[in-house]
Each structure stands twice: as structure tokens, then as C-alpha cells.
Amino acid sequence: MNFCSSCGAQVTLLIPEGDNRFRFVCVDCGTVHYQNPNIVTGCIPEWDDRILLCKRAIEPRYGTWTLPAGFLENGESSMFGAAREAKEEANAEMRDMKLFSIFSIPHINQMYTFFRGTLRNGIASPGEESLEVKLVSEDQVPWGELSFPVVMETLKLYFQDRKAGHYHTHYGEIIREDPKTIRIEHY
């Protein structure tokens, strides 16, 4: 960040009085520009013994498979944002949604929330951000073609819970140990 969004003056990186972190602060008007993590929200659409996956038509990870998910918009709840993303990416309407997982990903300043719910009438079709959508059983999940580690981990937990016969709300962190290695912590 170089310039203040309030007055256009130059900003400087410093620790404001009463704070303990470096922030961009306007040298003219004194506005402190906080930068906070982005929240991504999505869902696991269920129909019978299958779940809905979307093949990405956008970067990053164009052409890989994912759960319907995206950035939470201002003024919406995480659950309604997840339902909106299912509608945008898969023309899917969700019912009976319940929180399934929350993952923090500090190295990219993101937090993910996933909800599981029923896909209304089992109907879905590709939206603008999807090349293809499909309902898959566990043995049909393209594990080697999933878009992101958080999607893979969420699906692993989902199928573990389903086999056990009851669902839990999961919380964890995906931690980058080096450029090629991640570690997943569950709490």
C-alpha cells in the first residue's frame, strides 16, 4: 500500500500508538489502514450418498475439482455466502446447511468455513466459474485433481464422519512449513 484511501496522501508502515503490530498509517490524516484475513466460505452439497464437485473455470487452479466456495461478501453471513457460492458455481440450491469445518490458513491470510447440506432435488449445472459439475461417491472423488489442500482435508474429514455415522464440527490450521510442504493441525 502506497497511498491513503481516505485522502490520497502517502502512507508509512509503523506501529501506531496503542497497537502492537505494524500498520500502514497515513502521514497526513492519520488513518490507520488495517489489513485482515479474507474469509472463504463454501459447502459440501449432499444428494443421496454422493456429493457435488465443481471443475474450476477460473484461476487459480483452472481445470481442477473443488467444492463450491468463494470469498465472503460484506453484509452476508458465512452460511448464506456458502449457499450463494453453490448457486453461482453450480446453479445449486442448498437446504438444511450446518457448519462442518473451519480452517485457518495463516500463510495466505485466509480462513475457510464449510457447511454440509442437502442439494435441492439433486439438481446442479455449471455456473460461470465452473467448466463442469458432477455428483460423486467417495470412490469417485478425483483425489489427485483437487484444487486446494483445504478442500482435500475437508473431504477426508467428511467421509470419515460419514463412515462413523455422525458428523462433528472440525477446526484446524493448514501451516506452510516450507514452499513445498504443508502440515495440518486439528484442534
The structural domains of the chain, ordered by start, are 1-35 (2.20.70.10), 38-186 (3.90.79.10)
State residue 44's pLDDT score.
98
Residues 58-84: pLDDT tens digits?
A: 999 999 999 999 999 999 999 999 999
State residue 1's pLDDT score.
93
State residue 48's pLDDT score.
95
Residue 106 · residue 175 · CB < 8 Å: yes
Residues 127-140: pLDDT tens digits?
A: 999 999 999 999 99
pLDDT < 70: residue spans in the chain: none
